[in-house]
Amino acid sequence: MEIFQGSEILMKSLLEEGVDVMFGYPGGQIMAVYDTLYYYTDKLRHILVRHEQGAVHAAQGYARIRRRPGVVIVTSGPGATNVITGIADAMADSTPLVVLAGQVGLSELGCDAFQEADVIGLTSPITKWNYQVRHASEVAWAVSRAFYIANSGRPGPVVLDLTRDAMIEFADYEYKKCDFIRTYIPKHDLSEKSIQDAADMINASEKPFVVFGHGVQISNAEKELKDFLSKGNIPAGSTLLGLSSLPTDFNLYQGMIGMHGNLACNVQTNECDLLIAVGMRFDDRVTRTLSSYAKQAKIIHIDIDPAEINKLVKVDLGIVGDAKEVLAALAKKMVFKERKDWLKAFDDLYEIEMNKVIKPAINPESGDIRMGEVVDVVSQRSGGNAVIVTDVGQNQMMAARYSQFKNSDSFISSGGLGTMGFGLPAAMGAKIAVPDREVCLFVGDGGLQMTIEEFGTIMQEKVAVKIVLLNNNCLGNVRQWQQLFFGGRLSFVDMINPDYQKLAEAYDIKYAEVTSRDQLTAAVDKMLQSDEPYLLNIHVMELDNVMPMVPMGHGIESIMLSEDEWYKKEN
Amino acid sequence: MNQDRYTVLIYTEDQIGLLVQISNIFTRRSLSIWSMYAVPSNIENVHTITIIADGPEEKMIQAKMQLEKRMEVIRVYIDKGNTIEGWPMSPSATSQRDNEIEQFLNDRNKQIK
Ligand SMILES: Cc1ncc(C[n+]2csc(CCOP(=O)(O)OP(=O)(O)O)c2C)c(N)n1
């Protein structure tokens, strides 16, 4: 066995795990690692971000699209605390990350040493696993365990708190990939009985509805989902993070569920006789008021995480398992049913939404440019092939509602935590992960300014992301709520924007501005034709609202179609 | 929601910092911990943490599910009431569960390649 310094063991271990890119920022306690990294740059690409929050969101963008852990490397103290938001975001959205944080030396731990923070204490509730590495002899073991835990079962973030001693000591090195932890069962065996019970329930149902989430992509179950739906002729709706698992034009796909979801999906959740939830966790943005959610229906919940079953929605049958395996097993037992009336009801509701909401949002005849039409134009002109990344707010909901998808892995957004500032670095990480794909970010003027420092990274690394700024001079989402539910009192939502052209020029980012509808398509085309980083600043309607909307405190059948019209069920 | 008293018995690997993680899982769900007792178990390298806590059953079950997701937690048992006569724990109260855990770990250990 050969002997190496801890920091070198770390590099070798990362290479063993197939790491090709890391996002990071150096500093005192991680300097030994950066010094070793200096000799490894031919094998490990390091992206120097401008703020550690940028590193962690970029790693999330990378991880989501590559379906493997994103790697972050930061120094102790402020470096580590700056990644907290991203770690919490990754935990909420089941994104695999391995975060390597420097830590002071063993003798200084607990002494309030310079740049000492209790990283283990701080990150315990927001990590799948965290571990303080105290000696070089533990480094390889900890790294292999970190990658295994981060990317197996329900994925999530892992933090390794690397003490200085562990990085500078020498130890024997041998790498053993971890694929087993005796207390951890990432995947449970399928129960033949529950598959049969589920198949019987589905085959007996006249009006089944599938709601699926991120779990479909995580378990690589897109094909199995499609087969299962086709065999049973079952309509399906997606959560925000499930978007792009099915092509938008797939005949049984009905759109998005939840607060700003499609009318048919929400109405029919409360009309179906059987709700089949796949790889989703009944987030409150999806269910709204639980006491009136799908009360009429029997419910089957398929999820890899046993803790999700019966957590919020009480179900008739819970199946703990990998979506791919469960759906494949179910598909074999499906009986095709015509379901003419049931499917037509979806179409009828779509028609209502089309006339009342979608057309005015994407084909307005006059007035200011609307966010929806921008998303629609980008989607059309990119042929539904782009990776759509969003920030948080109205821009996110509009991007989710009006993007068309041809392929899976085409939608990246901060769902569970709803982190403004996620978009720009996540788009950067996604583009670095898949340089051959077009990556378009939709972002508001508020969210862009939260992590705008990453323009620097984009410039330095020449990351050709296309940034579509939906500029409404305000915090649109909050403004919408204040307008609708807080008596129109617009409290601290107006923003004076910087000169984005000057900013873009300062960072060597191509820039164009759109102020009227007739410029829109040509400007989008020009942006898509460019192979450089690009900022398209589009001045959109300031008082635009995202509709339909199921407001706070309402059940999902209680839907606003506009500021002054609610959906009424036709009998 | 009804507040009841529960005894939560947690088998864990020996791991620094686990007590804090475990108590966080209770406090985050507004489950109040009345007492907490951690000792090495009769099984080699396995510890038990016994928590007597008050709260609604539903939240208690959620806490159990979340506890079992922690990497070093082996298994969690919940019983209604303060089931442990002669607190702290009488050895007989846990012996059957000790056996179950030992069996589980033996089976798992056999899978180590
Ligand atoms: C870090 C963070 N702070 C605050 C919020 C609350 N919030 C949600 S949406 C929103 C407004 C977003 O405004 P903007 O980025 O301009 O996007 P728009 O809604 O106008 O598209 C705010 C403040 C949040 N989600 N994240």
On chain A, the residues whose CB falls within 8 A of the CB of B28 are 125
Q: Is B80 on the interface with A (CB under 8 A)?
A: no
Question: What token pair was written down for A415?
Answer: 């769902």
Model's pTM, two decimal places?
0.97
Question: What token pair was written down for A78?
Answer: 């402020």
**Per-residue pLDDT for B90 more than 70?**
no
Sketch the domain layout of chain B as residue ranges: 4-112
Query: Which residue, judged by its Cα, is nearest atom 9 of ligand 1?
Result: A393
If you measure from the C-alpha of residue A312 to the centroid of ligand 1, how many angstroms do you get, rounded to a whole number? 27
Cβ atoms B48, B42 nearer than 8 A: no
| CATH code 3.30.70.260 for B4-112 | yes
pLDDT score recorded for residue B16? 77
Picking from B26, B15, B20, B11, the residue whose alpha carbon sits closest to that of residue B89 is B11
Are A120 and B13 within 8 A, CB to CB? no
Sketch the domain layout of chain A as residue ranges: 2-173, 192-346, 369-539
Are B20 and A124 within 8 A, CB to CB? yes
Q: Give the Å distances, CA to CA, from A519 to A472, A515, A523, A537.
A: 17, 7, 6, 12
Q: For the sheet containing B73-80, what is the strand order? A: B32-40, B46-55, B4-13, B73-80
Residue pLDDT tens, chain A, 571 long: 899 999 999 999 999 999 999 999 999 999 999 999 999 999 999 999 999 999 999 999 999 999 999 999 999 999 999 999 999 999 999 999 999 999 999 999 999 999 999 999 999 999 999 999 999 999 999 999 999 999 999 999 999 999 999 999 999 999 999 999 999 999 999 999 999 999 999 999 999 999 999 999 999 999 999 999 999 999 999 999 999 999 999 999 999 999 999 999 999 999 999 999 999 999 999 999 999 999 999 999 999 999 999 999 999 999 999 999 999 999 999 999 999 999 999 999 999 999 999 999 999 989 999 999 999 999 999 999 999 999 999 999 999 999 999 999 999 999 999 999 999 999 999 999 999 999 999 999 999 999 999 999 999 999 999 999 999 999 999 999 999 999 999 999 999 999 999 999 999 999 999 999 999 999 999 999 999 999 999 999 999 999 999 999 999 999 999 999 999 987 6
Q: Is A129 on the interface with B (CB under 8 A)?
A: yes
pLDDT score recorded for residue A547? 98
Cβ atoms A301, A317 nearer than 8 A: yes
Selecting from 3.40.50.300, 3.40.190.10, 3.90.180.10, 3.40.50.970, what CATH number does the domain A2-173 have?
3.40.50.970
Are B111 and A180 within 8 A, CB to CB? yes
Matching fold, domains A2-173 and A192-346? yes
Residue labelled with tokens 């709260």: B55
Note the CATH number of domain A369-539: 3.40.50.970
Position in ligand 1 atom list of the atom nearest CA A495: 16
Q: What is the nearest CA distance from B3 to chain A, expressed in angstroms?
A: 18
Cβ atoms A468, A374 nearer than 8 A: yes
The CATH class, in words, for A192-346 is alpha beta
Number of residues in chain B: 113
A139 lines ligand 1 (CB under 6 A): no
Q: What is the nearest CA distance from A82 to chain B, expressed in angstroms?
A: 21
How far is it, in rounded angstroms, from Cα A362 to Cα A352? 15
Are B69 and A307 within 8 A, CB to CB? yes
pLDDT score recorded for residue B86? 47
Query: Which residue, judged by its Cα, is nearest atom 2 of ligand 1?
Result: A420
- Candidates A371, A392, A452, A492: which one to mutate for ligand 1, based on the most atoms within 8 Å of Cβ? A392
pLDDT score recorded for residue B83? 63
The ipTM (two decimal places) reads 0.92
pLDDT score recorded for residue B91? 53
Residue labelled with tokens 């992509």: A217
pLDDT score recorded for residue B95? 83
